[in-house]
Amino acid sequence: MDSFFDKKYQTPTWLNKKLSRRSMLKSAAGATAIAAAPAFALNKSNNELAYQSALNNLKWQTLNAVFDHLFPASDSGPSAKDIQATYYLYQLVHEQPTSQDEIDFIYRGIGWLNGYTQSKQQLNFINLNTEQKEQTLKAISRSEAGQNWLNMMILNLYEAMLSPPAYGGNPDGVGWKWLSHQAGFPLPKPGNRYFELPPRSQVNKKSAQVIKSTDLLANHPIKVVKGGTKA
């Protein structure tokens, strides 16, 4: 397969499962969104500096441009840049236990996208103007592979906006503030994220002992007082 428009492409099972979360996250994001929200001052975390060199690479520049177009800056709330969508995806690819199939699909989609724009405008996606980017994304969305790739990018946007800041997105809870959402506590910190926690202890079925329960009332039946209301 060498493009989004390969008719042999079929949505893989792992992607179907991932995309099934999109409607849930979309509902969660839309249900509490407010019409307008104040601007938020964002502080760069030290960990964010670790991926700056990746932005010199065309692959990550392309992903960054796709996110910026899908979730642009506006007066009503944060943008993809504000929620650090690209940094969240970078962490997903390089730090979290993400399947290789998913990582490969992300990177193949970048190649297919730039291959398409090169064939149409002789430019990479990052060099297109806003209208050309819009036309390009609409065009690839008409294919199953293109639609799946864009859906996965949108899902990552939702996750970056709604997940705890320790996972790379949503700095200072900017997404939660925009949605007037109160997060649960305590929030995980680096070192205590779900993929960094020790595995739960396993029970050895052969050595496990079954403790027989005892009916404490078996030999002490309850006496009911005639005419009374209490046992």
Tens-place pLDDT, residues 67-77: 999 999 888 88
Over range 38-64, report the average pLDDT: 68
Read off the pLDDT band of 129 (50, 70, 90).
very high
Q: What is the residue extent of each domain of the chain?
A: 13-196
Residues 159-212 pLDDT 10s:
999 888 887 888 888 888 888 887 777 777 776 676 667 765 444 545 445 445
Residue 15: other Cβ atoms inside 10 A: 19
pLDDT of residue 165: 85
Whole-model pTM: value is: 0.71
Q: Is the pLDDT of residue 64 over 90?
A: yes
pLDDT of residue 31: 42
Read off the pLDDT band of 24 (50, 70, 90).
low
